[in-house]
Amino acid sequence: MSDILRDLAATIEARKGSDPAASYTASLLAKGRSKCAEKFGEEAVEAIISAAEGDREGLTGEAADVLYHLLVLLAASDVPLEDVLSTLATRKGTSGHAEKAARKG
């Protein structure tokens, strides 16, 4: 999965400065970080609706949209996907319950 996400992140990064008429990604990036965040939010809501309706096929497509728009948002924010993957890696083996308890002190 990371390979597909890494390839897609590289494609999105390469679209920075490309012709917005030729690339949807470039057109989205040209609109700025706030617009990219808005699109990510819209796609997340669509995924939520599919999940709430028990629409597994719909959720599969919406989840792909969410991942694509998250990668666009990261690119627009100059946050490398590698940093996100590293953060996930450091959490490996730590239960969410344990992490939450540690945060509360």
C-beta of 77 vs 94, nearer to ligand PRT: 77
Distance CA 83, CA 8 (A): 15
CB of 96 to ligand PRT, least distance (A): 29
CB of 65 to ligand PRT, least distance (A): 5
Residues 15/23, Cβ–Cβ less than 8 Å: yes
Distance CA 15, CA 3 (A): 18
- By CB under 6 A, name the binding residues for ligand PRT: 8, 11, 15, 23-26, 39, 65, 68
Distance CA 67, CA 78 (A): 16
Instruction: Count Cα atoms within 13 angstroms, Cβ side, for 89.
Output: 7
C-beta of 15 vs 74, nearer to ligand PRT: 15
CB of 78 to ligand PRT, least distance (A): 18
3-state secondary structure of 1: coil
C-beta of 41 vs 101, nearer to ligand PRT: 41
CB of 98 to ligand PRT, least distance (A): 35
- 40, two tokens: 């990510």
C-beta of 79 vs 101, nearer to ligand PRT: 79
